[in-house]
Structure 1
Amino acid sequence: MTSRKVLGLTGSIGMGKSTVAGMFRELGVPVFDADAAVHALQGPGGALLAAIESEFPGTTGPLGVDRQKLGAAVFGDPGKLARLERIVHPAVGAMRGDFLRENAGAPLIVFDVPLLYEKGGQAGLDAVAVVSAPAAQQRQRVLARPGMTSEKFEQILALQVPDAEKRARADFVIDTGGSLEATRDQVAGIVRTLTRAE
């Protein structure tokens, strides 16, 4: 019986989750990036292109899925979004299974899942860490992104479980409102806690 732990890592937009995932990697912890998996499946030559094109004609091309066209095809239509998810989720699940097997000897594995609470992704996890920062800092970070507007930011927030609820449900809260060093210390502390011999 393995004592390996699986930690879910999540957080709302602009909270610093990608930075924190990088910190886990620096400490030698394998990180499965759900977004990167989706990009690989939908990118040039991606395994899901034929299925997506068949279901949503005109949304793919030589560069893979045209995210704007696919977004326009499913946005605001729960039925179409569900059809897309039925194509994407099993494939991501299979990649996650492969990742677990490839890293079978690791004492700790991190699943980086942006919409963990929104999509019910807690199954099979030993703990969840939520990356969080003060709302004003979050807003400042997000609005600094190219092409981002206040309206877009509000729309994205409306689709995500509120930060306060995520914090309340999490086993660990990683506060990225301070220095990078302070954040690194928090990450190292979680790794120590989860890899201690029981």
Structure 2
Amino acid sequence: MSEARPFILGLTGSIGMGKSAVAAMFQGLGVPVFDADAAVHRLQGPGGALLPTIEAEFPGTTGPQGVDRPKLGAAVFGNPEALKRLERIVHPAVGAMRKDFLAENAEKPLIVFDIPLLFEKGGWEQVDAVVVVSASAEAQRERVLARPGMTPEKFEQILKLQVPDAEKRARADYVVDTGTSLAETRHAVQRLVHSLTASE
């Protein structure tokens, strides 16, 4: 008997494109979603498994509430070497959680890996297809600048670290447009789930 496993769909999109909303739509349709960001928050939150290692590597950046994000951010922001050291701590732990998630959902026809930096960090080789969530640059800018504490400078800095949206669209197997109404976006997600599970 061949080893059956779910079809793994990688979900990604640049900041402010509506990826979280689309991930929630997949979940609403009964598709298990592994949220890489949420996994990192768990590992770095109060009592998180990575706190001792992060504190040893970056003294003074953790406390009772877990990682002090502004302090850790200040320690690695604009410092590629420090960022690499942090990634060497975080990535293997997230990878282990993703493996467990895959094992727990081995019987499902379709699962989603929600990975914000899928193209930037090389995660696309581990998925069967990639769906990119996208909207116009105007809509993206408007959404991001509406976030608390966000400035045009910060937004530009974040964009520089991300693969451009046009390139993501070009490399995607599927694109979900969030520049339309929520209902239209939801229909697009439903059609995608149906087409990926219809052959099961």
TM-score of the aligned structures, taking structure 1 as reference length: 0.98
Question: How far apart, CA to CA, are the structure 2 residues paired with 1:186 and 1:173?
Answer: 9
Letter in 2 for 1:63: Q
- Deviations 1:109-129, CA, capped at 9 Å, x for gaps: 000000100001112211000
Which residue is equivalent to 1:173?
Answer: 175
Question: How far apart, CA to CA, are the structure 2 residues paired with 1:33 and 1:113?
Answer: 7
Deviation of 1:196 after TM superposition, in Å, equals: 2.1
Question: How far apart, CA to CA, are the structure 1 residues paired with 2:6 and 2:123?
Answer: 18
Which residue is equivalent to 2:153?
Answer: 151
Of 2-11 and 38-47, deviating more is 2-11
Deviation of 1:3 after TM superposition, in Å, equals: 5.1
Which residue is equivalent to 2:73?
Answer: 71
Corresponding residue SS for 2:123: coil
- After the TM superposition, which parts of structure 1 deviate over 2 Å for at least 4 consecutive aligned residues? none
Which residue is equivalent to 1:9?
Answer: 11
Letter in 1 for 2:9: L
Question: How far apart, CA to CA, are the structure 2 residues paired with 1:50 and 1:21?
Answer: 31
Which residue is equivalent to 2:139?
Answer: 137
RMSD in angstroms over aligned alpha carbons? Answer: 0.9
1:32-181, aligned counterparts within 5 Å?
A: 32-181=34-183
* Identity, % of aligned positions: 74
Question: How far apart, CA to CA, are the structure 1 residues paired with 2:5 and 2:65?
Answer: 42
Question: How far apart, CA to CA, are the structure 1 residues paired with 2:142 and 2:104?
Answer: 38
Question: How far apart, CA to CA, are the structure 2 residues paired with 1:157 and 1:59?
Answer: 25
Corresponding residue SS for 2:126: coil
Letter in 1 for 2:188: Q
Question: How far apart, CA to CA, are the structure 2 residues paired with 1:158 and 1:3?
Answer: 36
Corresponding residue SS for 1:22: helix
Question: How far apart, CA to CA, are the structure 2 residues paired with 1:4 and 1:55?
Answer: 37
- What is the number of residues matched between the two proteins? 198
For structure 1, list consecutive stretches of 5 or more residues without a partner in the other structure.
none
Which residue is equivalent to 1:195?
Answer: 197
1:28 lines up with 2:34 in the alignment: no
